[in-house]
């Protein structure tokens, strides 16, 4: 069942982040010791990217551990909401950052750091504002309650140059409908790393979920 992902080069832009894997696992790590085996299980399943969020006290050190100990895994930092956090995750070794929204001060900090980013958008105005700053790859969040796949399909007409990673309410049931859109590079989802599996150290289950997710690109 093991289908280890081909090691990906560190992305140089947000656009390159979108092309690493069809699904970006969005992970809350409660204990730093969980981070490395979790990332290794994803990699064995064929998913070579992970977004470790700052929603827990262990998030920053988990990013540091995966960046240092899991060669071939592209590790990103999620739920980055302040310039100070953007600086901290960059210093910890994150290859990219993901923000839930795009306030000007935070976007300024990300651009100044030069780290690839998927900044959060939920409206056309936010999308166009980021495009004015030279960012054409972005996060669409929260995807399902912000109009879902039909909204992104409608956006493609006036903004064909923009590409997205929709996150929020994405599951195996609807992921393929997003990935079929021409302006979606990947989706973000938490279903690859269920809390009970991570708590139990059930890395075989995580690997199996990753393998199924890795096949979504072909299926779409």
Query: What pLDDT digit, counting tens, does each position of 21-57 carry?
Result: 999 999 999 999 999 999 999 999 999 999 999 999 9
Taking all residues of the chain, what is their mean pLDDT, rounded to a whole number? 95
Element (H, E) at 155: helix 148-156
Catalytically annotated residues: 51, 139
Query: pLDDT tens across 171-208, in order?
Result: 999 999 999 999 999 999 999 999 999 999 999 999 99
CATH homologous superfamily of 14-215 = Aldolase class I (3.20.20.70)
Query: pLDDT tens across 117-126, in order?
Result: 999 999 999 9
Give the global pTM. 0.94
Mean pLDDT, residues 148-163: 98
The radius of gyration of the chain's CA atoms, rounded to the nearest angstrom, is 16
* Paired tokens of 32: 């730093």
- Distance CA(85)–CA(99), nearest Å, equals 10
Element (H, E) at 91: helix 83-92
- Distance CA(31)–CA(38), nearest Å, equals 11
Q: What is the DSSP letter of 170?
A: -
Q: For the chain, report the end-to-end CA distance as a whole number of angstroms.
A: 21
Indicate the domain borders of the chain. 14-215
Confidence of residue 85 (pLDDT cuts 50, 70, 90): very high
Q: Which residue has the higher pLDDT, 4 or 160?
A: 160
Name the packing angle between helices 32-44 and 59-69 (round to 10°). Answer: 50
């Amino acid at each position: 069942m093991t289908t280890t992902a081909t090691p990906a080069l560190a992305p140089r832009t947000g656009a390159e982040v979108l092309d690493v894997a069809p699904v970006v696992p969005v992970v809350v790590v409660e204990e730093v010791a969980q981070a490395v085996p979790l990332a290794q299980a994803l990699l064995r399943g064929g998913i070579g990217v992970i977004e470790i969020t700052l929603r827990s006290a262990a998030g920053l050190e988990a990013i540091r551990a995966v960046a240092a100990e899991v060669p071939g895994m592209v590790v990103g930092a999620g739920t980055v909401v302040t310039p100070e956090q953007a600086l901290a995750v960059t210093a910890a070794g994150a290859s990219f950052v993901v923000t839930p929204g795009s306030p000007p001060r935070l976007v300024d900090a990300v651009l100044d750091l030069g780290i690839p980013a998927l900044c959060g958008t939920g409206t056309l105005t936010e999308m166009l504002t980021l495009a004015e700053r030279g960012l054409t790859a972005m996060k669409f969040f929260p995807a399902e309650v912000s109009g879902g796949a039909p909204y992104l399909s409608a956006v493609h007409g006036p903004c064909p140059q923009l590409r997205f990673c929709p996150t929020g309410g994405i599951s195996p049931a609807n992921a393929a409908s997003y990935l079929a859109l021409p302006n979606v590079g990947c989706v973000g989802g938490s279903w690859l790393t269920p809390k009970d599996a991570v708590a139990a150290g059930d890395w075989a289950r995580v690997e199996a979920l990753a393998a199924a997710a890795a096949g979504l690109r072909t299926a779409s």
